Amino acid sequence: MTAPPARIVDLGPDDDLFPAWCEVWAAVQRDDRPEDPPRPAQEHVALGRELVAPGGSRDGLHRAAVTGDAVVGALRVLLPLRDNPAVAFLDVAVHPVHRRRGLGTRLLAEGRAYAAERGRTLFISEVDEALPSSPGRAFAERHGWTCDLVETRRDLVLPVDADRLSALEAESARAGAGYEIRTWRDRTPDELLEDRALLERRMTTDAPHGDLPVEEEEWDGERIREYERSHVARGRTVLSAGAVTADGRLVAFTDLQVPLAQPGRASQAGTLVLREHRGHRLGARVKAAVLRDLAAQFPEVRRISTYNSDSNTPMVAVNEALGFVPAGHLSSWSLRL
């Protein structure tokens, strides 16, 4: 018997079908990387509530492909509101047992139409490529998207080698003797908040972005606080370290995210040194500092994953010095109308 065609429905984070929508993503993640725990549903729920809350920096929607009572496909669209007015971020997932039925194509068309109605002409999506034969890559190529950036995922098995870490700390401390290293958790100290916003803005101009059609992002202290609140709502804690000049200016930072419900694997998020303060091994110093905090506060973390463009040779060198090893790729794709 032929299965009935799927219907496409809008979902909110508190709808009855939303847990099944989250499970589609979990099934895809288990299929792609069975050694990694999938993202908890709490993270999707928190992001969904963030999108419908007034005054935020993003808008968007969630839709599901439903057959009978089962959610078999998922779509999320994110629209920046403070910058990049032509850009829409699209994410599509189809449950592995329901692939090759045209569901992904339908959801992608839904996302494109929704974004185009809101004046968006540049679409961006990411593909986690655990293996070279990723179905996400084939899907993007089949629909005419362009691969603009490839980052290598690197994993560090913990505990980090003590001699490696001590050697890196000693070398970087000598090179950056004029800077103080400070650490914090979840909330940037008030006196560093505006500098932290500048660093986030510069992440969008100074870090490698390949050929992605993105413009500089608008960040201020309130947007940093929104970013921090969103991580707490998603059930993550964020350990941060920064380099501060003698006159109290924050000029480098790194964030390490730990999912509290599944603390076995942490994620190294953004790391940046302001261009005018490079050459003092500050990236290495802040990474070493946050690793020390992680070992003290969350010894149960057994692995850290990070993503870097291979063109970012200074950061790749720091990661390799710590013992990170390649574990696949993350590719970013765009479609221009």
For residue 3, name the pLDDT band (cuts at 50, 70, 90). Answer: low
Number of domains in the chain: 2
Strands 265-273 and 7-11: unpaired
Separation between Cα atoms, residue 20 and residue 22, nearest integer Å = 5
**What residue type is 45 in one-letter code?**
V
Angle between helices 162-175 and 313-322 (to 10 degrees): 140
Are 194 and 63 members of one domain? no
Let me know whether 111 and 241 are in one domain: no
Q: HSE of 284 in the Cβ direction (CA atoms, 13 Å)?
A: 27
Q: Looking at the structure, do residues 107 and 180 belong to the same domain, yes or no?
A: no
Domain presence at residue 336 = no
In a domain, 311, yes or no: yes
Residue 336: pLDDT over 90: yes
Angle at alpha carbon of residue 216, lines to 213 and 218, rounded to 5°: 135
Q: Report the b/e string of 172-188 with b at 16+ CB within 10 A.
A: beeebeebebbebeeeb
Whether residue 233 is found in the same domain as residue 286: yes
Find the mean pLDDT for residues 206-215: 90
111 pLDDT above the threshold of 90? yes
Q: How far apart are CA 48 and CA 22, in angstroms?
A: 11
Residue 103 in domain: yes
pLDDT tens digits for range 284-332: 999 999 999 999 999 999 999 999 999 999 999 999 999 999 999 999 9
Q: What CATH number does the domain containing 212 carry?
A: 3.40.630.30
Cβ within 8 Å of residue 114, ≥6 positions away: 61, 77
Structural domain includes residue 125: no
| Residue 208 confidence (pLDDT) | 86
Question: What are the C-alpha distances in Å from 171 to residues 4, 268, 283, 321, 324?
Answer: 64, 22, 12, 12, 18
Angle between helices 41-52 and 221-233 (to 10 degrees): 140
Chain mean position to CA 273: 19
Residues 88 and 223 in one domain: no
Judgement on whether residues 165 and 300 belong to the same structural domain of the protein: yes
> 184 and 288: one domain?
yes
The mean pLDDT value of the chain amounts to 95
Band of the pLDDT at 1, cuts 50, 70, 90?
A: very low
Percentage above 70 pLDDT, the chain: 99
- Which residues are within 8 A (CB) of 180 and not within 5 positions of it... i.e. 6 or more apart? 243, 244, 245, 246
**C-alpha dihedral (154, 157, 163, 168), degrees to nearest 10:** 30
Residue 1 forms part of a structural domain: no
The reply to whether 337 falls in a domain is no
Q: What is the pLDDT of residues 53-99, one digit of tens each?
A: 888 999 999 999 999 999 999 999 999 999 999 999 999 999 999 99
Task: Indicate whether 142 pLDDT > 80.
Answer: yes
46 and 164 share a domain? no
Structure tokens, 25:
């993503």
Q: What SS3 state is found at 157?
A: strand
Residue 163 phi, psi (nearest 5): -70, -40
Domain boundary among 99, 120, 141: 120
Residues 214/271, Cβ–Cβ less than 8 Å:
no
Q: Is the domain of 229 the same as that of 112?
A: no
CB 91 within 8 A of CB 112: no
Mean pLDDT for the stretch of residues 148-162: 96
In a domain, 262, yes or no: yes
In degrees and rounded to multiples of 5, residue 180 shows phi and psi of -95, 140
Concatenated DSSP letters of 239-276:
EEEEEE-TTS-EEEEEEEEEETTSTTEEEEEEEEE-GG
Task: Examine the domain organization and report whether 160 and 97 are in the same domain.
Answer: no
Nearest to 215 by CA among 57, 336, 87: 87
pLDDT score, position 4 = 60
pLDDT given for residue 87 in this prediction: 98
Query: DSSP character for 11?
Result: E
Domain-terminating residue out of 97, 120, 143: 120
Instruction: Say if residue 104 is in the same domain as residue 183.
Output: no
The range of the structural domain enclosing residue 223 comes to 154-328
Of the residues 120, 142, 165, the one at which a domain ends = 120
- Verify that 90 and 11 share a domain, yes or no: yes
Q: Is position 127 within any domain?
A: no
Judge contact between 266 and 303, C-beta under 8 A: yes
